[in-house]
Structure 1
């Protein structure tokens, strides 16, 4: 990726300079028999103080009042405009570079491959919307159904383009998405993963269901779009293992895993690694023992491409 866009080519953390961490993870992961699927977590999001944001301010999008900063916890973030061709090319080139240069088994996206629905009021996007709506400006109500639909469809078009580019580079590289439930993804991030799944441009779905209430957790597993996806591609469920300031009891994790298994989902995923035992109110050894009971024997990662056919 050109240095002029993203700044220093090397990893900023001093202890990691001179190392290729992704290559190390892929090599060691494969030695251990693991499937390695890096998570393209930030999507179109960027740190507000990043060199990319500073060097390409015209690439950023905004709210209707012109403000750009979006808080992620205590962090200031900005969002690249997913409707600009040069932004799309930058993101696609970055993804293809990873797929081409590393022996990864897949690549994963999430809702950040969309856009917070309050954004999209930059001059470029407004002009594009007007061009396709006979001069009519987008609604000041960022939840307006047509304004939401138009932006979501543009992002879907780009997702299709990225899927095609990944497959052209490495046909067996899995395209995975780990979004929130459909209603949230679509309404808040313009990420219409239900449509992506129906179009056949995602091959693996890991649904983030970070809920404490067991009844709510189970109800999320029963939505029609989840069942439809499950009949077409492998669908796993993301379970919250804890946050830095919030410990989740292992009993809750065990119960949720069982509810997922009862419904024959493809598997489970935990967010995030450190909270499985290092960052918890319960003793690490107790949590490790409990986790070993949940997963007593190794299992092979399923061949997700075997027999899979996209919808026409």
Structure 2
């Protein structure tokens, strides 16, 4: 026993950081989203380095840093520079937060999957912002011809080929230029509020396929919803195929809202992405404020409910709300949620978002470290197999 302890101590000293998971470690995705809203973690190299060390010490293994938000990138982007003269969020001018995160995360054995949070949104309560000011023909429209707006977000037209090419160019730029482990779309990529689809371009596209008939005036018409969702599905597949053509080892992950709400409100038919083979992971946002509501929501996302095979459903790992606005997840709720995930066979979870771990002297993080995350975890084998 003494000899074993001596060797273990020596290994830790040589590693200089949290020990790497071994073969008998649990196979789990333990993820966290890093935001640039209500968080300062990305504001300096020092805060990034401290955060990555903290996450490794608390046995996380994946970080999802935002790289596209408010119409800006959080890395120097040649695409944004050429189209809008805005190579990076002005707050980060002179830095490359994504590169800093990659270096510090990989130093501690954490995987990095950049998160394109803003998706097809153009702005938030800004009338389309600088994106639509420069390219007004990219605007999405509702049935009254107004700029498509939902919950304060103004939207680009997700069915327009220029808009699709733009988002795909951002994703491919990151894949080509950075040593990343994956990329992620979310509840706005690919997505479009169900109230949209009435721009001149989309109208002409629909008429060309329907004998000159205009789109239904009711945005909730089932066939009209299906037509639009199919185009978002095609974009998701295109993104997946083009990313894999650049680097087959880069995972393509998605974090939509729960189904069928995601489809009914934002035309996200994400079970089809799994059935079609263009999703390596899906993290449905099972965002609830108390356990019974979480339990009911997660139960509704089972394989049978979603029309998935067990192998397809194995790629579903829930997203969990840790903090938003004034809401704070308690350690008790956290333990209940993680235990319920394991009871249902889910190998992990992804938490929104990092700052929730650090509240009250790291109360939630320490509770997690003392319970479900007592030991390091390796990623599930299906994520490590050649794709």
TM-score > 0.5, shorter chain as reference: yes
Count of aligned residue pairs for this structure pair: 300
Measure how far apart 1:289 and its partner are.
Answer: 2.4
1:306 is displaced (CA, Å) by: 4.6
1:231 aligns to 2:308 (yes or no): no
In the alignment, the residues of structure 2 paired with residue 124 and residue 60 of structure 1 have an alpha-carbon distance, to the nearest angstrom, of: 10
Which of 161, 165, 171 is the matching residue for 1:85? 161
SS at match of 2:188: helix
CA deviations over 1:265-307 (Å, ceiling 9, x no partner): 12111111112333xxxx3343332121131111122343455
Partner of 1:3: 81
1:235 touches 1:267 (CA, 8 Å); kept in 2? no
Alpha carbons of structure 1 residues 285 and 21: separation in structure 2 relative to 1, 3 Å: closer
Deviations 1:70-128 (A, max 9, x none): 254xxx43211111111111111111111110111000111211101111111111111
Alpha-carbon deviation of 1:184?
1.0
1:300 pairs with 2:378 = yes
Compare 162-171 and 209-218 and name the one that shifted more: 209-218
Q: Give the 3-state SS of the residue equivalent to 1:107 in structure 2.
A: strand
Q: Which structure has the greater CA radius of gyration?
A: 2
> What is the root-mean-square deviation of aligned Cα atoms in Å?
2.0
Give me the whole-angstrom Cα distance separating, in 2, the residues matched to 1:85 and 1:306. Answer: 33
Decide whether aligned partners of structure 1 residues 169 and 137 sit closer, same or farther in structure 2, where only a CA change above 3 A counts: same
Correspondence for 1:242 among 323, 343, 349: 323
Structure 1, unaligned runs of 5 or more: none
Contact residue 152 and residue 190 of structure 1 kept, 8 A: yes
Q: TM-score scaled to structure 2, two decimals?
A: 0.73
CA distance, structure 1, for counterparts of residue 251 and residue 366 of structure 2 = 32
Match of 1:258 among 334, 339, 355: 339
- Normalising by structure 1, what TM-score? 0.90
> What residue number does 1:19 align with?
95
Q: How does 1:275-286 map to 2 (within 5 A)?
A: 275-278=356-359, 283-286=360-363
Distance 2:89 2:290 in 1: 40
Structure 2 alignment gaps of length 5 or more = 1-78
Other structure's SS at 1:142 match = coil
Distance in 2 (CA, whole Å) between partners of 1:127 and 1:290 is 56
Q: Secondary structure of the residue that 2:261 maps to in structure 1?
A: helix
Equivalent position of 2:38 in the other structure: none
8 Å Cα contact 1:53-1:78 kept in structure 2: no
1:29 counterpart SS class = helix
Verify the 8 A CA contact 1:236 1:269 in the aligned structure 2.
yes
1:84–1:285 distance in 2 versus 1, CA, 3 Å: closer
SS of the residue 1:236 aligns to = coil
Distance 2:283 2:197 in 1: 27
**Using the alignment, how far apart are the partners of 1:225 and 1:24 within structure 2?**
41
